[in-house]
């Protein structure tokens, strides 16, 4: 059966993944980014490369800012100050969340490396 435009747009495909974080005493949720959000994130990399900047500051934290949410999908971190504060958290915990978020968003290490070459 072919889907209609209305069915496609109504589909809930931004699923949530619950990730227990023992050292924080609970769980966080990771959502799937929309294609527009992912494009914007990737375009930041591309703009930096074209400007001769070798990397994106806090790239893991900025990615996590776009996907860490509550149980109904509302983002937890929405400001530049939030990114700075989140960037001060444990690298061990943030690495775990980064890996889970990459998997949940179908983003591979190869994708990240390719962005670095853009």
**H runs (alpha helix) in 12-90:** 35-50, 59-65, 80-86
Q: Is the pLDDT of residue 116 over 60?
A: no
| Cβ atoms 65, 83 nearer than 8 A | yes
Identify the pLDDT of residue 42.
81
pLDDT digits (tens, 9 = 90+) for 27-52: 999 999 999 988 888 888 777 777 77
H/E element holding 20? strand 16-21
Q: Are strands 68-69 and 26-31 parallel, antiparallel or unpaired?
A: antiparallel
Tell me, rounded to whole angstroms, the distance of Cα 25 from its chain centroid: 22
Tokens of 23: 């050292």
Tokens of 65: 């800012």
Identify the pLDDT of residue 115.
59
Euclidean distance between the first and the last CA atom of the chain, given in angstroms as a whole number: 39
Annotation: CATH topology of 15-117: rbstp2171 (3.30.2220)
Identify the pLDDT of residue 112.
60
Identify the pLDDT of residue 56.
65
Closest listed residue to residue 16, CA positions, set 27, 26, 6, 5: 27
């Amino acid at each position: 059966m072919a889907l209609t435009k209305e069915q496609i747009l109504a589909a809930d495909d931004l699923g949530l993944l619950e990730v227990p974080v023992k050292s924080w005493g609970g769980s966080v949720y990771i959502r799937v980014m929309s294609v527009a959000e992912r494009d914007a994130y990737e375009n930041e990399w591309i703009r930096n490369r074209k400007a001769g900047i070798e990397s994106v500051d806090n790239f893991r934290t900025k990615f996590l800012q776009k996907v860490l949410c509550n149980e109904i999908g509302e983002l937890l971190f929405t400001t530049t100050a939030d990114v700075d504060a989140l960037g001060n958290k444990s690298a061990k915990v943030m690495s775990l969340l980064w890996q889970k978020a990459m998997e949940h968003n179908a983003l591979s290490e190869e994708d990240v490396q390719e962005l670095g070459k853009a």
